[in-house]
Structure 1
């Protein structure tokens, strides 16, 4: 089994799966549709090109640095004739200062081509929206000859030093992966891209399972206060 790992790290990210009209939300973790779109852009696929092979890849993500939710309030004016016409007010939500390790699992030859495409992308890469470029030019973390679950568990922690210094000596990173339909405790979400064609975008359903968190040692972390010792010394 082969897995391809991807670094998703940037000042802003936006991973919407149910945005409508004037409210553009973001999930707390990257979506499969967003990452498949990134891979398709790296390969130079147009929005009308087939993506069945990419959508069939098993997807997973590890939360290395949990970002904070921010809101951008936007206004616009459309000029029609002599008088400008105000557009509806819109709200766009983003994740600030977040970092994730995403991964896809599948055919080794396909993943090798995706790895090369990420290193020399045809189209610019962005983290969910065009206004969200990656912080690092090197997005691909490379191929791993193992399962997706094991690759995500064994990859070194990618959080920034300033973030690590605010955590404890041991951290637990959330881990979410694709699961077979009907898996107990899985969340069902409409997040499988069937077509990116702007005339008629289509998405299918997938089951997402939250696995046991990944435990990481944090050499930059702070010691947790020993409240019991304080009580005993009183």
Structure 2
């Protein structure tokens, strides 16, 4: 099926969408980043680092946060318990003293999160990506190689993927009603990388835009948010219940 865009789904026990971090602390954004999506697609296409990414730079993304997940910290140490001649080498080429030999770091993940992403672009590019996601050259992962997806990433190609986000079943269980919301309904956050036409300014700036030459000099870009009410019937649950609902939707 040829269309102007893709619907992709990103779900895993752990995901990590790296944000600018310093030293031993590696943070994550609360939703997939443009640079990570570019990397995911480049992986499926089999593009080595340094490849021309100009066609991927023209893609536009709308992220639906099906399940925001929860933050999970992974604590690491390295270099401790060794004699000094085997401790971690410093930037100057020496060895750390024993009392400073153990290096500590922490990596942050999103646990049990799920996102559905509308990817819009020229049909020649989106059709190529659809084929690559069906038969990836290298296995795609969700931010880090330790985060493989739990289901096929490609849902379908479609002429208006952003509109489909409003109808596609949610990958989450029904929730208890919140104050001011009808029973069984929930507000779902959409994150847009172009102005959705609400008349509101961007809610934030994220530094996750890669240049087209494949180097890793990230630039900032604005993001907008909208909120949409989803009913109890649109909550498809998880596991096989969600897969069945998704299959029914894509075949109608």
Q: Same fold (TM over 0.5)?
A: yes
1:217 is aligned to 232
Q: Does the C-alpha gap of structure 1 residues 195 and 76 become closer, same or farther in structure 2, counting only changes over 3 Å?
A: farther
Q: May I ask how many residue pairs the two structures share in their alignment? A: 211
**Is the partner of 2:193 in helix, strand or coil?**
strand
Residue 187 (structure 2) aligned to one of 160, 172, 192: 172
TM-score normalised by structure 1 residue count: 0.81
CA contact (8 A) 1:38 1:125 kept: yes
Runs (4+) of structure 1 exceeding 6 A deviation are: 78-81
1:185 is aligned to 201
1:58 and 2:68 equivalent? Answer: no
Q: Partners of 1:214 and 1:118 in 2: how far apart?
A: 30
Residue 158 (structure 2) aligned to one of 139, 144, 150: 144
Matches within 5 A, 1:5-154: 5-77=7-79, 82-85=85-88, 86=101, 88-136=103-151, 138-146=152-160, 148-154=161-167
Deviations 1:114-172 (A, max 9, x none): 01101111111111111111011x110111111x431222222122xxxx155441122
TM-score normalised by structure 2 residue count: 0.76
CA contact (8 A) 2:170 2:235 kept: no
1:156 is aligned to 169
Q: Does the C-alpha gap of structure 1 residues 56 and 80 become closer, same or farther in structure 2, counting only changes over 3 Å?
A: farther
CA contact (8 A) 1:77 1:84 kept: yes
CA contact (8 A) 1:195 1:202 kept: no
Q: Does the C-alpha gap of structure 1 residues 51 and 220 become closer, same or farther in structure 2, counting only changes over 3 Å?
A: closer
Q: Does the C-alpha gap of structure 1 residues 103 and 220 become closer, same or farther in structure 2, counting only changes over 3 Å?
A: closer
Deviation at 1:102, TM superposition (A): 1.2
Deviation at 1:67, TM superposition (A): 0.1
Deviation at 1:48, TM superposition (A): 1.1
Greater strand share, 1 or 2?
Answer: 1
Q: Does the C-alpha gap of structure 1 residues 81 and 49 become closer, same or farther in structure 2, counting only changes over 3 Å?
A: farther
After superposition, the CA RMSD in angstroms is: 2.4
Deviations 1:95-123 (A, max 9, x none): 00000101210101210110110111111
Deviations 1:192-224 (A, max 9, x none): 111685xx5122222211023242324779xxx
CA contact (8 A) 2:60 2:193 kept: yes
Q: Partners of 1:220 and 1:192 in 2: how far apart?
A: 32
CA contact (8 A) 1:11 1:132 kept: yes
